[in-house]
């Protein structure tokens, strides 16, 4: 087992597009890489967003995939540096879709840095509440 986030995105295309726009803001503040952690930059598709950490530095683990399928998913980050970007992305998911389900192996202390980054990047928003 490792440190893992769990989520069920309950989003439509409009909400997905807002989350994708938020991830572009996150990507401007945090170095993110494709699903394999090899090429710099988030992968944006019509109904899917994918990113990982930097494999060349051993900072990759599992790829975060957000899509409109509505299916339960998870991302094991092992608390590697891209975890804060995962946390912020999941907070954005919850902000745009309060009915989406988000949980984690971590406790509230594990989310402090991600929440601070959310506040910095989106200062006009309240941080969504996540039951941990």
Domain boundaries, the chain: 4-121
At 131, the pLDDT band (50, 70, 90 cuts) reads confident
pLDDT, mean of residues 52-66: 97
- Reduced to 3 states (helix: H, G, I; strand: E, B; else coil), residue 24 is helix
pLDDT, mean of residues 16-26: 98
Q: H-helix or E-strand containing 121?
A: helix 112-121
Would you say residue 70 has pLDDT above 70? yes
Q: What is the pLDDT of residue 1?
A: 53
At 101, the pLDDT band (50, 70, 90 cuts) reads very high
Radius of gyration, CA atoms only, the chain:
13
| Torsion angle in degrees (nearest 10) through CA of 15, 19, 20, 26 | 170
Query: What's the whole-model pTM score?
Result: 0.96
Q: What is the pLDDT of residue 19?
A: 98
pLDDT, mean of residues 35-58: 96
């Amino acid at each position: 087992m490792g440190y893992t986030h769990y989520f069920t995105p309950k989003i439509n295309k409009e909400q997905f597009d807002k989350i994708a726009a938020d991830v572009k803001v996150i990507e401007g503040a945090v170095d993110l890489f494709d699903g394999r952690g090899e090429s710099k930059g988030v992968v944006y598709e019509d109904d899917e967003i994918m990113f990982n950490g930097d494999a060349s530095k051993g900072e990759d683990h599992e790829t975060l995939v957000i899509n409109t399928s509505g299916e339960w998913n998870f991302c094991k980050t092992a608390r590697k540096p891209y975890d804060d970007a995962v946390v912020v992305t999941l907070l954005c998911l919850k902000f745009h879709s309060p009915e989406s389900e988000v949980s984690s192996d971590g406790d509230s202390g594990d989310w402090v840095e991600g929440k601070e980054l959310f506040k910095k990047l989106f200062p006009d928003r309240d941080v969504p509440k996540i039951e941990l």
